[in-house]
Amino acid sequence: MWQSQIGAHLLYRTNADGTTEVDVFKYFVFLGVLLMVSGVLGALLLQIVDEEELIEEGVEHLEQSGLLEESEFFRHRPSLSRHTSGYGTINNEDSGTLTPTSSLGSLDLTQSMILQKQALQEKKTWLLNQSTHAFLTDTTMYLLAAGFLLLAGPGEAYINNVGTIIPSLEPRSPYHSTEPTAGSASSHVSMIAITSTLARLFTGTLSDLFAPPSNESTPPSQRTSFSRLALLIPSAILLLFAFISLAIPQLIPQNPNYFLISSALLGTGYGASFSLVPIIISVVWGAENFATNWGVVAMMPAGGAVVWSLVYSVLFERATDDGGRCSGYSCYGGWAAGCSVSVLVAIGLWMGAWRVWRRRQVIV
């Protein structure tokens, strides 16, 4: 949003008739410089994490989560267990694993480092495979992903079609020069962008400040804490109100001047869900395989958006008159009611997942 504002107000050119438009060359130079500066800052400020420590924490997290039995890796890999217990000893077999018959003094330092690196790589591979298996076989993952599909899908469909809802709420002549009381499409897009950004920052900050620590080794604290689901569920309810206000004829349909409030509610719920769901995934299933886990769930809104955009287009087409214009509640009312039910089901699924996590004593 801020980049587009810079392009529109700073990196523009004036035409012969006095109008202005974005200078594409200057704008792409600006984006290139911004990308380079971001890369340099990242290279200088980001810290390299000790991979071995990260792997150990990942195994410990899986054991504590209840998704993995204690020391399963070492039980299933006896050769690696011997390597761990008899560090610095070497086997006579071609496999290169270690045995308790040789001493560290007979082992070349380079070879010892190679064997240690191989053991670490083997443990890393096992951890990622086990983490992915635990994620894909966990019923709560499907509850979380289905809820995300049923909530974010309608949200994206709303964003895609808000420009056609406005003239349906307030039919006007195409030559009417003043802005409709329901607001222009650009006003609604800006409102959704602003509220979504603020919601992401606000819920992310609250999550960091008040969420219970997921590490059991952390000393007990007297500070107030609450689950991240206590933020996610109310945010989803706000998004639900956005669709209910369109689905009930006595609300927004009869008072189009309040339509911007509906967009603000939707932006808040939509942004908060995209902030909290990735955090919950990293907390429940660990950060070691977060990219894969979040990638699976992040695809869900696209499918939901396709479905609800198709529903909207079909209902909108049916209500269109012979002149190709659609006005009134029939253009969007049924779609808004369906989206309301979809979001309500999503809330129910997330509450079900929360109940299972509490029973498993998984801290979210």
293-330 pLDDT, tens digit per residue, is: 999 999 999 999 999 999 999 999 998 887 778 888 89
Residue that wins the pLDDT comparison between 287 and 74: 287
Residue 96 and residue 174 share a domain: no
Residue 58 falls within a domain, yes or no? no
Q: Which of 76, 58, 72 is nearest to 292 (CA)?
A: 58
Residue that wins the pLDDT comparison between 268 and 66: 268
Beta-bridge mates of residue 22: 12
The secondary element (H helix, E strand) that includes residue 13 is strand 12-14
pLDDT of 340: 96
**Containing structural domain, residue 16:** 2-38
Q: Which of 16, 61, 21, 17 is nearest to 293 (CA)?
A: 61
Residue 182: which pLDDT band, with cuts at 50, 70 and 90?
Answer: confident
Residue 51 falls within a domain, yes or no? no
Residue 46: which pLDDT band, with cuts at 50, 70 and 90?
Answer: confident
Minimum mean pLDDT range among 95-109, 160-174, 221-235, 301-315: 95-109
Cα gap 56→248, rounded to integer Å: 54
Residue 239 and residue 127 share a domain: no
Minimum mean pLDDT range among 181-185, 201-205, 244-248, 262-266: 181-185
Residue 167 and residue 109 share a domain: no
Residue 320 and residue 186 share a domain: yes
Residue 59 falls within a domain, yes or no? no
Residue 104 and residue 18 share a domain: no
Q: Which of 343, 346, 344, 309 is nearest to 165 (CA)?
A: 309
Residue 152 falls within a domain, yes or no? yes
Residue 288: which pLDDT band, with cuts at 50, 70 and 90?
Answer: confident
Percent of the chain with pLDDT over 70: 73
Residue 56 falls within a domain, yes or no? no
Our CA angle for 74, 76, 80, nearest 5°, is 50
Diameter over CA atoms, the chain? 92
pLDDT of 109: 59
Structural domain total, the chain: 3
Residue 61 falls within a domain, yes or no? no
Cα gap 355→23, rounded to integer Å: 54
Q: How far is CA 68 from the centre of its chain?
A: 25
Q: Could you tell me what percentage of the chain is helix, strand and coil, using 3-state DSSP and rounding each to the nearest 5?
A: 70, 0, 30
Residue 320 and residue 174 share a domain: yes
Residue 350 falls within a domain, yes or no? yes
Residue 76 and residue 6 share a domain: no
> Is a pLDDT exceeding 60 seen at residue 238?
yes
> Is a pLDDT exceeding 50 seen at residue 82?
no
The secondary element (H helix, E strand) that includes residue 324 is none
pLDDT of 50: 64
* Helical ranges in 174-289 per DSSP H: 185-210, 229-247, 259-285
The stretch 139-168 carries a mean pLDDT of 93
Residue 60 falls within a domain, yes or no? no
Phi, psi of 14 (to 5 degrees): -100, 130
Residue 22 and residue 164 share a domain: no
Residue 314 and residue 195 share a domain: yes
The mean pLDDT value of the chain amounts to 80
> Is a pLDDT exceeding 60 seen at residue 164?
yes
**CATH number, residue 323:** 1.20.1250.20
Q: What is the DSSP letter of 10?
A: T
Residue 84 and residue 129 share a domain: yes
pLDDT of 148: 96
Residue 205 and residue 297 share a domain: yes
Is the Cβ–Cβ distance between 49 and 85 less than 8 Å?
no
Residue 12 and residue 80 share a domain: no
> Is a pLDDT exceeding 70 seen at residue 171?
no
Minimum mean pLDDT range among 66-80, 253-267, 316-330: 66-80
The stretch 5-20 carries a mean pLDDT of 80
